[in-house]
Protein backbone atom coordinates (compact mmCIF):
# COMPACT_ATOMS: atom_id res chain seq x y z
CA UNK A 1 0.00 0.00 0.00
CA UNK A 2 0.91 3.68 -0.21
CA UNK A 3 2.23 5.87 2.60
CA UNK A 4 0.99 9.24 3.78
CA UNK A 5 2.69 12.23 5.37
CA UNK A 6 1.11 15.48 6.52
CA UNK A 7 1.95 18.46 8.69
CA UNK A 8 -0.02 21.10 10.57
CA UNK A 9 1.91 23.94 12.24
CA UNK A 10 1.21 27.26 13.95
CA UNK A 11 4.00 29.01 12.04
CA UNK A 12 5.34 28.49 8.50
CA UNK A 13 7.58 25.43 8.87
CA UNK A 14 9.59 23.35 6.43
CA UNK A 15 8.98 19.61 6.23
CA UNK A 16 12.39 18.73 4.77
CA UNK A 17 13.36 16.44 7.68
CA UNK A 18 10.25 14.22 7.52
CA UNK A 19 10.15 14.41 3.73
CA UNK A 20 13.73 13.15 3.52
CA UNK A 21 12.81 10.03 5.48
CA UNK A 22 9.60 9.33 3.57
CA UNK A 23 11.24 9.72 0.16
CA UNK A 24 13.61 6.84 0.92
CA UNK A 25 10.60 4.53 1.27
CA UNK A 26 9.71 5.27 -2.35
CA UNK A 27 11.88 2.63 -3.99
CA UNK A 28 14.83 2.46 -1.57
CA UNK A 29 13.90 1.35 1.96
CA UNK A 30 10.30 0.65 0.92
CA UNK A 31 8.34 -0.67 -2.10
CA UNK A 32 6.35 2.50 -2.85
CA UNK A 33 7.94 3.13 -6.26
CA UNK A 34 4.91 4.16 -8.34
CA UNK A 35 5.08 7.91 -7.91
CA UNK A 36 4.91 10.57 -5.25
CA UNK A 37 3.52 14.05 -4.67
CA UNK A 38 3.47 16.87 -2.14
CA UNK A 39 1.32 19.99 -1.70
CA UNK A 40 2.29 23.05 0.35
CA UNK A 41 -0.22 25.72 1.33
CA UNK A 42 0.70 29.38 1.37
CA UNK A 43 -2.32 31.35 2.51
CA UNK A 44 -5.21 30.44 0.19
CA UNK A 45 -2.79 29.35 -2.51
CA UNK A 46 -0.89 26.11 -2.78
CA UNK A 47 1.97 24.71 -4.77
CA UNK A 48 2.14 21.05 -5.70
CA UNK A 49 4.97 18.83 -6.96
CA UNK A 50 4.28 15.38 -8.46
CA UNK A 51 6.28 12.72 -10.24
CA UNK A 52 5.20 9.22 -11.36
CA UNK A 53 8.81 8.08 -10.88
CA UNK A 54 10.04 6.53 -7.59
CA UNK A 55 10.67 9.28 -5.04
CA UNK A 56 14.05 7.82 -4.05
CA UNK A 57 15.22 8.41 -7.65
CA UNK A 58 13.28 11.59 -8.48
CA UNK A 59 15.13 14.78 -9.35
CA UNK A 60 11.99 16.70 -8.42
CA UNK A 61 12.07 15.09 -4.96
CA UNK A 62 15.70 16.19 -4.64
CA UNK A 63 14.65 19.75 -5.45
CA UNK A 64 11.90 19.70 -2.80
CA UNK A 65 14.28 18.18 -0.22
CA UNK A 66 16.88 20.88 -0.84
CA UNK A 67 14.43 23.77 -1.13
CA UNK A 68 12.97 24.51 2.34
CA UNK A 69 9.46 25.64 1.42
CA UNK A 70 7.74 26.81 4.60
CA UNK A 71 4.05 26.15 5.15
CA UNK A 72 1.49 25.72 7.92
CA UNK A 73 -0.23 22.81 6.12
CA UNK A 74 1.36 20.10 3.97
CA UNK A 75 0.15 16.80 2.47
CA UNK A 76 2.49 14.23 0.91
CA UNK A 77 1.97 10.76 -0.58
CA UNK A 78 4.16 7.97 -1.99
CA UNK A 79 2.37 5.43 -4.13
CA UNK A 80 2.35 1.67 -4.47
CA UNK A 81 -0.18 1.28 -7.28
CA UNK A 82 -3.11 -1.10 -6.89
CA UNK A 83 -5.79 0.83 -8.78
CA UNK A 84 -5.05 2.72 -11.98
CA UNK A 85 -1.93 2.92 -14.13
CA UNK A 86 1.32 4.51 -13.03
CA UNK A 87 1.00 7.97 -14.57
CA UNK A 88 0.86 11.62 -13.56
CA UNK A 89 -2.95 11.91 -13.46
CA UNK A 90 -3.12 9.02 -10.98
CA UNK A 91 -0.46 10.50 -8.69
CA UNK A 92 -1.57 11.89 -5.30
CA UNK A 93 -2.28 14.34 -3.77
CA UNK A 94 -5.38 15.39 -5.67
CA UNK A 95 -6.56 19.02 -5.54
CA UNK A 96 -10.10 20.33 -6.20
CA UNK A 97 -11.77 23.67 -5.56
CA UNK A 98 -14.83 24.07 -3.32
CA UNK A 99 -16.17 27.18 -1.57
CA UNK A 100 -13.28 29.26 -2.87
CA UNK A 101 -10.69 26.95 -1.30
CA UNK A 102 -8.17 24.49 -2.66
CA UNK A 103 -8.93 21.09 -1.09
CA UNK A 104 -6.05 18.62 -1.08
CA UNK A 105 -6.58 14.90 -0.56
CA UNK A 106 -4.45 11.75 -0.30
CA UNK A 107 -5.51 8.17 0.44
CA UNK A 108 -3.77 5.00 1.54
CA UNK A 109 -5.58 1.70 1.00
CA UNK A 110 -7.71 -0.13 -1.54
CA UNK A 111 -11.45 0.04 -2.19
CA UNK A 112 -13.68 -2.61 -3.79
CA UNK A 113 -16.59 -1.87 -6.15
CA UNK A 114 -15.93 1.85 -5.70
CA UNK A 115 -17.36 2.96 -9.05
CA UNK A 116 -20.62 1.12 -8.32
CA UNK A 117 -20.99 2.03 -4.66
CA UNK A 118 -19.75 5.63 -4.91
CA UNK A 119 -21.65 7.23 -7.80
CA UNK A 120 -20.35 10.70 -8.74
CA UNK A 121 -22.24 13.42 -10.60
CA UNK A 122 -20.72 16.88 -10.12
CA UNK A 123 -17.03 16.13 -9.52
CA UNK A 124 -15.68 13.81 -12.20
CA UNK A 125 -12.29 12.11 -11.68
CA UNK A 126 -9.45 12.97 -14.06
CA UNK A 127 -7.63 9.67 -13.50
CA UNK A 128 -8.71 6.10 -12.86
CA UNK A 129 -7.85 5.44 -9.20
CA UNK A 130 -10.20 4.40 -6.43
CA UNK A 131 -8.61 7.19 -4.37
CA UNK A 132 -9.53 10.10 -6.62
CA UNK A 133 -12.99 8.61 -7.21
CA UNK A 134 -13.63 8.54 -3.45
CA UNK A 135 -12.45 12.17 -3.17
CA UNK A 136 -14.87 13.23 -5.89
CA UNK A 137 -17.66 11.36 -4.12
CA UNK A 138 -16.98 13.21 -0.85
CA UNK A 139 -16.99 16.55 -2.69
CA UNK A 140 -20.27 15.61 -4.38
CA UNK A 141 -21.82 14.83 -1.00
CA UNK A 142 -20.61 18.15 0.43
CA UNK A 143 -21.99 20.10 -2.52
CA UNK A 144 -25.34 18.29 -2.45
CA UNK A 145 -25.73 18.73 1.32
CA UNK A 146 -24.53 22.32 1.76
CA UNK A 147 -24.68 23.89 -1.72
CA UNK A 148 -22.80 27.18 -2.04
CA UNK A 149 -22.67 27.86 1.71
CA UNK A 150 -19.80 26.30 3.67
CA UNK A 151 -21.02 25.05 7.08
CA UNK A 152 -19.29 25.67 10.41
CA UNK A 153 -16.17 23.68 11.16
CA UNK A 154 -17.68 21.06 13.44
CA UNK A 155 -20.65 20.37 11.16
CA UNK A 156 -18.38 20.14 8.13
CA UNK A 157 -15.83 17.70 9.49
CA UNK A 158 -18.33 15.51 11.29
CA UNK A 159 -20.09 15.21 7.93
CA UNK A 160 -16.79 14.30 6.21
CA UNK A 161 -16.00 11.78 8.95
CA UNK A 162 -19.40 10.11 8.55
CA UNK A 163 -18.82 9.64 4.83
CA UNK A 164 -15.22 8.52 5.36
CA UNK A 165 -16.61 5.77 7.60
CA UNK A 166 -19.00 4.79 4.82
CA UNK A 167 -16.16 4.58 2.27
CA UNK A 168 -14.12 2.57 4.76
CA UNK A 169 -16.68 -0.23 4.51
CA UNK A 170 -15.43 -0.85 0.95
CA UNK A 171 -11.90 -1.75 2.06
CA UNK A 172 -9.05 0.25 3.59
CA UNK A 173 -9.46 4.04 3.73
CA UNK A 174 -6.73 5.98 5.52
CA UNK A 175 -7.40 9.62 4.57
CA UNK A 176 -5.62 12.96 4.81
CA UNK A 177 -7.56 16.07 3.73
CA UNK A 178 -6.86 19.80 4.02
CA UNK A 179 -8.34 23.12 2.94
CA UNK A 180 -5.12 24.92 3.89
CA UNK A 181 -6.42 25.93 7.32
CA UNK A 182 -7.49 22.62 8.81
CA UNK A 183 -5.93 19.18 8.44
CA UNK A 184 -8.25 16.17 8.73
CA UNK A 185 -7.06 12.60 9.29
CA UNK A 186 -9.23 9.46 9.23
CA UNK A 187 -7.66 6.14 10.24
CA UNK A 188 -8.77 2.85 8.74
CA UNK A 189 -5.86 0.74 10.01
CA UNK A 190 -2.58 2.66 10.02
CA UNK A 191 -1.94 6.30 10.90
CA UNK A 192 0.50 7.69 13.47
CA UNK A 193 1.00 11.24 14.70
CA UNK A 194 3.39 13.27 16.84
CA UNK A 195 3.16 16.85 18.12
CA UNK A 196 6.47 18.62 18.64
CA UNK A 197 6.55 21.62 20.97
CA UNK A 198 8.79 23.05 23.68
CA UNK A 199 10.93 21.68 25.15
CA UNK A 200 12.28 20.49 21.78
CA UNK A 201 14.90 17.79 21.41
CA UNK A 202 16.74 15.76 18.80
CA UNK A 203 15.14 13.37 16.32
CA UNK A 204 16.72 10.56 14.30
CA UNK A 205 15.21 9.35 11.01
CA UNK A 206 14.59 5.62 10.58
CA UNK A 207 15.20 5.59 6.83
CA UNK A 208 18.22 7.88 6.52
CA UNK A 209 21.24 8.78 8.61
CA UNK A 210 19.89 12.21 9.47
CA UNK A 211 19.56 13.77 12.92
CA UNK A 212 18.06 17.18 13.63
CA UNK A 213 18.09 19.19 16.83
CA UNK A 214 14.74 20.98 16.83
CA UNK A 215 15.92 23.34 19.58
CA UNK A 216 18.15 24.96 16.96
CA UNK A 217 15.39 25.12 14.34
CA UNK A 218 12.39 26.38 16.32
CA UNK A 219 11.18 29.03 18.74
CA UNK A 220 9.69 28.33 22.16
CA UNK A 221 6.14 28.97 20.90
CA UNK A 222 6.24 26.67 17.84
CA UNK A 223 3.77 23.76 17.63
CA UNK A 224 4.14 21.25 14.79
CA UNK A 225 2.11 18.07 14.31
CA UNK A 226 3.26 15.44 11.82
CA UNK A 227 1.01 12.59 10.66
CA UNK A 228 2.42 9.55 8.86
CA UNK A 229 1.40 6.03 7.94
CA UNK A 230 4.34 4.69 9.94
CA UNK A 231 6.62 6.55 12.39
CA UNK A 232 9.52 8.31 10.68
CA UNK A 233 11.86 8.59 13.67
CA UNK A 234 13.18 6.00 16.10
CA UNK A 235 13.77 8.10 19.21
CA UNK A 236 10.41 9.87 19.63
CA UNK A 237 7.02 8.76 20.96
CA UNK A 238 4.54 8.49 18.09
CA UNK A 239 0.84 7.91 18.76
CA UNK A 240 -1.07 5.30 16.75
CA UNK A 241 -4.65 6.22 15.84
CA UNK A 242 -7.34 3.60 16.44
CA UNK A 243 -9.30 2.04 13.59
CA UNK A 244 -12.22 4.33 12.74
CA UNK A 245 -10.76 7.28 14.67
CA UNK A 246 -10.55 10.74 13.13
CA UNK A 247 -8.83 13.95 14.21
CA UNK A 248 -8.89 17.54 13.01
CA UNK A 249 -5.82 19.77 13.46
CA UNK A 250 -5.50 23.52 13.20
CA UNK A 251 -2.10 25.19 13.55
CA UNK A 252 -0.66 22.02 15.04
CA UNK A 253 -3.36 21.55 17.69
CA UNK A 254 -6.07 18.90 17.66
CA UNK A 255 -9.34 20.87 17.73
CA UNK A 256 -11.84 18.07 17.05
CA UNK A 257 -11.67 14.31 17.47
CA UNK A 258 -13.92 11.26 17.49
CA UNK A 259 -12.50 10.22 20.88
Q: pLDDT-based confidence at 29, cuts 50/70/90? A: low
Q: Of 2, 46, 76, 136, which residue is the catalytic one? A: 2
CATH number, domain 3-257: 3.60.20.10
In angstroms, the CA 246 to CA 13 distance is 24
Count of C-beta atoms within a 10 Å radius of residue 257: 14
Model confidence pLDDT, tens digit, residues 72-91 = 999 999 876 677 788 999 99
Domain boundaries, the chain: 3-257
pLDDT at 23 over 80: no
Handedness of CA 195, 231, 62, 76 (dihedral sign): negative
Residue 217 backbone zone (phi > 0: left; psi -120 to 50: alpha; other: beta): alpha
Dihedral Cα 78, 176, 139, 110, nearest 10 deg: 50
Please give the average per-residue pLDDT across 138-150, as a whole number.
97
Average pLDDT, the chain: 90
Task: List CB contacts of 62: < 8 A, sequence separation 6 or more.
Answer: none
Q: pLDDT-based confidence at 35, cuts 50/70/90? A: confident
Expressed in percent and rounded to 5, the helix, strand and coil fractions of the chain are 25, 35, 40
Q: What is the DSSP letter of 242?
A: P
Burial 48-70 (b: 16+ CB within 10 A, else e): ebbbbbbbbebeebeebbeeebe
Q: Are 248 and 184 in contact (CB under 8 A)?
A: yes
What is the per-residue pLDDT for 48?
A: 95
2 catalytic per annotation: yes
> What is the pTM assigned to this prediction?
0.93
What is the per-residue pLDDT for 205?
A: 85
Task: List CB contacts of 67: < 8 A, sequence separation 6 or more.
Answer: none
Amino acid sequence: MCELLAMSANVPTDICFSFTGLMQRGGNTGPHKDGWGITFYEGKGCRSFKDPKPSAESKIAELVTDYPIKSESVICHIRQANSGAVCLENTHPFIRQLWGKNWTYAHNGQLKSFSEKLAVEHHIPVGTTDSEHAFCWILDKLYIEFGRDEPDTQTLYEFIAKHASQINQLGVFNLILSDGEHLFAFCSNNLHWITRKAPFGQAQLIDAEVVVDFKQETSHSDVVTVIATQPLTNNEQWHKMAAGQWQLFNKGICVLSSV
